[in-house]
Amino acid sequence: MITISTRLLGVMRMNPIRDKEREEYVERTINRKIAFQGKLLKLEVLEVRTRGEKISTREIVRHPGAVAILILRDSPRGEEVLLVEQYRKAIESFTLEVPAGKLDIKDGRKEDPLDCAVREIKEETGLEVTPSQLEYLGKIYTTPGFTDEIIHIFRLKVNSQAEVNPIDLQEISLAKWIPLSELKEMILKGIVNDAKTLAALLYHLLSSEEG
């Protein structure tokens, strides 16, 4: 089970009157069909009833979910973040991003995000960690306009002598420690533009301010 810090929950309490007003914007599914079923993704085409009783179509990509891990260490250069380089076919380009991976599904059951995070850290960095070393920061919906994918974000702090040796050399071409101050510049220059990496860093900075 994932334990979420109460300071990060940020639960919004809705006004009952406002909730009633919002109700008319809720889309009701009246029909669905599977247009594509792959190893990872499923595409559903939904017929929905929208505001004003209009009928519309929604194409929804179903995704099992994933994890992303912000790994940090202290060094003479200040706090550093571990990023890995991967070639992403969808954009025909290399990205620098935090270690991450999808939840496996076995016997119809999704892998626990915490177990997935431990596994992905081992595969992409060679670091062996225990679940108790990981801190859950929160989750993001990657693109709620067309997919239900959720990425669970964790933080891991390791000692300055931690050795990084990726096991998954089929996908990971580089693993590199980058000073946090340098990473901020790389983001502003568009060198690092992976969404989950930006979200993980934001969670880290905001939680550090509070704590």
Give DSSP secondary structure letters for the chain: -----HHHH------HHHHHHHGGGPPEEEEEEEEEE-SS-EEEEEEEEEGGGEEEEEEEEE---EEEEEEEEEETTEEEEEEEEEEEGGGTEEEEE--EEEPPEETTEEPPHHHHHHHHHHHHH-----GGGEEEEEEEES-TTTB--EEEEEEEE--TT-----S-TTTEEEEEEEEHHHHHHHHHTTS---HHHHHHHHHHHHHHHH-
Among the four given CATH numbers 3.90.79.10, 3.40.190.290, 3.30.420.40, 3.30.70.2860, the one describing domain 65-210: 3.90.79.10
pLDDT at 195 over 80: yes
Break the chain into its structural domains and give their ranges.
Answer: 12-62, 65-210
pLDDT at 183 over 90: yes
Reported as a single tens digit per residue, the pLDDT across 108-118 is 899 999 999 99
**pLDDT confidence bin for 9, thresholds 50/70/90:** very low
Reported as a single tens digit per residue, the pLDDT across 113-163 is 999 999 999 999 999 999 999 999 999 999 999 999 999 999 999 998 888
Note the pTM of the prediction, 2 decimals.
0.88
**pLDDT confidence bin for 13, thresholds 50/70/90:** low
**pLDDT confidence bin for 97, thresholds 50/70/90:** very high
